[in-house]
């Protein structure tokens, strides 16, 4: 006697086929939407991106740059589309890895320091000692001056932005470093700071993030 297939198996087979057809139709509809969005976004254009995170004041090296094809609609204003336009330029702001570079992120001209100084401010270097690795560009510092004729320290600058830290060297057996620190200050503060630098011992105190310029 021939065994009859249970009715349940037929129902399950029908449901499986129905689900497969529904999934295929849903996938086709999704692909059509993706194609429509891509068409609406316009043709792709080359955009220069940072392949690694780069901090403000750095000179963009060719190996830190790449090119990505981006739909024209999604390009940010003033996006850079040529590697030659970005390589060798100084960054005016930090960029993250994978970020599309724009002309507003690049310093307008001048050397690595001058290109970072906004109108109305100046950059002035001071030499101070501090533990290695504790001070980097972008930090804020208070500048303290101790004059030989005064039994106290005087705060000359509060919350000055550090543009660069250069020329570090070990200055004692504890590993403290002496470095030239380029500070961004107003012209009036620069005069006080120049006087203190000439006649006093200088020390730097790292200020809380977000401190005001001196």
95 and 53 in a single domain? The answer is yes
In the chain, what is the straight-line distance between the N-terminal and C-terminal CA atoms, in Å? 100
Report if residue 87 sits inside a domain.
Answer: yes
In which band, very low, low, confident or very high, does the pLDDT at 51 lie, cut at 50, 70 and 90? very high
Tell me, yes or no, whether 83 lies in a domain.
yes
Edge-to-edge strands of the sheet including 122-130? Answer: 122-130, 177-185, 153-170, 140-146, 201-206
pLDDT band of 214, cuts 50, 70, 90: very low
For residue 70, tell me if it sits in a domain.
yes
Check whether residue 51 and residue 76 sit in a common domain. yes
Rg of the chain in Å (alpha carbons): 30
> DSSP H helical segments within the chain, as ranges?
7-41, 83-86, 187-199
Give the tens place of pLDDT for each residue, 111-149: 778 888 888 999 999 988 887 778 888 899 999 999 988
Tell whether 25 and 69 lie within a shared domain. Answer: no
Are 141 and 192 in a shared domain?
A: yes
DSSP-derived secondary structure letter, 106: B
Task: Return the percentage of the chain with pLDDT > 70, whole number.
Answer: 81
Say whether pTM exceeds 0.85. no
Classify burial at 179, counting beta carbons within 10 Å of its beta carbon; exposed 0-12, middle 13-18, buried 19 or more.
Answer: buried
31: containing domain:
8-38
CATH number of domain containing 92? 3.90.1210.10
Whether 80 is covered by a domain: the verdict is yes
151 shares a domain with 76? no
In this predicted structure, the answer to whether residue 169 has a pLDDT above a threshold of 70 is no
């Amino acid at each position: 006697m021939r065994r009859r297939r249970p009715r349940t198996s037929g129902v399950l087979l029908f449901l499986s086929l129905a689900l497969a057809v529904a999934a295929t139709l849903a996938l086709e509809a999704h692909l059509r939407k993706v194609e429509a969005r891509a068409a609406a976004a316009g043709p792709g254009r080359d955009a220069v991106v940072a392949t690694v995170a780069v901090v403000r004041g750095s000179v963009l090296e060719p190996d830190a740059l790449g090119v990505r094809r981006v739909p024209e609609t999604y390009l940010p204003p003033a996006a850079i589309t040529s590697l030659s336009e970005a390589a060798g330029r100084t960054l005016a702001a930090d960029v993250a890895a994978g970020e599309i570079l724009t002309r507003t992120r690049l310093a307008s001209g001048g050397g690595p320091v001058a290109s970072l100084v906004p109108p109305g401010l100046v950059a002035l270097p001071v030499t101070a000692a501090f533990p290695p690795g504790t001070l980097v560009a972008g930090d804020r510092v208070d500048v303290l001056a101790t004059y030989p004729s005064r039994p106290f320290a005087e705060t000359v600058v509060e919350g000055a932005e550090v543009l660069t830290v250069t020329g570090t060297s070990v200055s004692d057996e504890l590993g403290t470093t002496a470095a030239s620190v380029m500070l961004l200050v107003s012209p009036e503060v620069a005069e006080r700071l120049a006087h203190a630098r000439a006649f006093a011992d200088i020390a730097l105190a790292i200020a809380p993030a977000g401190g005001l310029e001196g």
